[in-house]
A = this chain, B = another copy of it.
Amino acid sequence: MNPGSVHADENVARLLITCADQPGIISAVSTFLYHHGANITDFDQHTSDLRDGRFFLRLEFQLPGLQQNLDSLRTTFSERVAAQYRMEWSLTPSSEKKRMALMVSRHDHVLMELLWRTMRGDLPAVIPMVISNHDDLRGEVERFGIPYHHIPVQGDDKAAAEKKALELLDGQADLVVLARYMQILSPDFVAAYPQRIINIHHSFLPAFVGANPYQRAWERGVKLIGATSHYVTEDLDQGPIIEQNVARVSHRNSAEDLKRLGQDVEREVLLRAVRCHLEDRVIVHGNKTIVFVK
């Protein structure tokens, strides 16, 4: 009966499921959990014929002795329920903090927010490292006791730089967050962390895809500017959108103002997207996300 707050009860877990829809799935899942002594405390499910009858579910349950029984629970669930419905699924204890590596260039605003939130226990994560193509933010990062790796990216050594980053990340990160990292990742890099690289784009996608969105927004005379957080795919700025928001601007605001105002939106949007991912609230289907908002 835990409401799923940030301060996770060690006996609480989250189950994410997607599969082709058919009658009986909820009965099968909930009966399985009941027979294993679990009490479901939050259950959010949706099926849409517009998505060719796809079933999406996130639930939280409380189970005394969760930690000791986790392996057997996963095995049994896999055999008795998941296999029958060909589910893609994950079962994650709420107390398990994901390892979130950060990549950044020179802008500090979203980096600082993620560092500060994580360090004060407001985000359920640990930060194993920060990787940057510049050395500017080393001091800010290291004072939190977090390793800072400077990997310059210049001209034709981009492949070497990515190789070095992948080696550092190997086995150390469940998630990579691009906190205004101004380099385009290669398909190989992306493939190493499918649906586990989150980017913040400084426009309301799909408007202003590409470079200099604030300048272009100012030139177009929009009345709202925005930011978009999405999973990174091979196609630049085209990955599944997790979260977006906007802020109102006026003719009194210069292009420089838009950039400053936009940074606050970026900060807020990336934080919300990362929080949803860390709390296992996101399922990716095709190029879209299902986000089970609290």
List chain A positions with a Cβ less than 8 A from chain B.
1-7, 21-24, 26-27, 30-31, 33-34, 37-50, 53, 56-57, 108, 112, 116, 120, 122, 143, 204-208, 220-224, 226, 240-246, 250-257, 260, 287-291, 293-294
Further pairs besides A223-B291, A251-B289: 4, Cβ < 8 Å? A1-B47, A3-B47, A42-B47, A112-B116
A122 to chain B, nearest CB (A): 7
Q: Which residues of B contact A224 (CB under 8 A)?
A: 204, 226, 244-246
A-B contact pairs, 7 of them (CB 8 A): A4-B252, A27-B30, A43-B44, A43-B45, A112-B116, A206-B208, A224-B245
- Report the bound CA distance from A289 to B220 in whole Å: 10
Give the 3 A-B residue pairs with the shortest CB-CB distance, closest first. Answer: A221-B288, A1-B49, A43-B45
- Number of this chain's copies in the assembly equals 4
Q: Which residues of B contact A243 (CB under 8 A)?
A: 223
Closest to A242 in B: B223
- Report the bound CA distance from A255 to B224 in whole Å: 23
- Report the bound CA distance from A31 to B32 in whole Å: 11
Q: Which residues of B contact A40 (CB under 8 A)?
A: 23, 26, 45, 47
A23 to chain B, nearest CB (A): 4
Contact A288–B251 (Cβ < 8 Å): yes
Contact B30–A252 (Cβ < 8 Å): no
Q: Which residues of B contact A34 (CB under 8 A)?
A: 23-24, 26-27
Contact A250–B291 (Cβ < 8 Å): yes
Q: Which of B33, B56, B240, B289 contacts A27 (CB 8 A)?
A: B33
Q: Which residues of B contact A252 (CB under 8 A)?
A: 3-4, 42, 46, 294
Contact A50–B254 (Cβ < 8 Å): yes
- Report the bound CA distance from A45 to B42 in whole Å: 6
Contact B223–A241 (Cβ < 8 Å): yes
A257 to chain B, nearest CB (A): 6
- Report the bound CA distance from A246 to B246 in whole Å: 8
Q: Which residues of B contact A41 (CB under 8 A)?
A: 21, 46-48
User: Which among A1, A122, A245 has the greatest number of chain B C-beta atoms within 10 A?
Assistant: A1
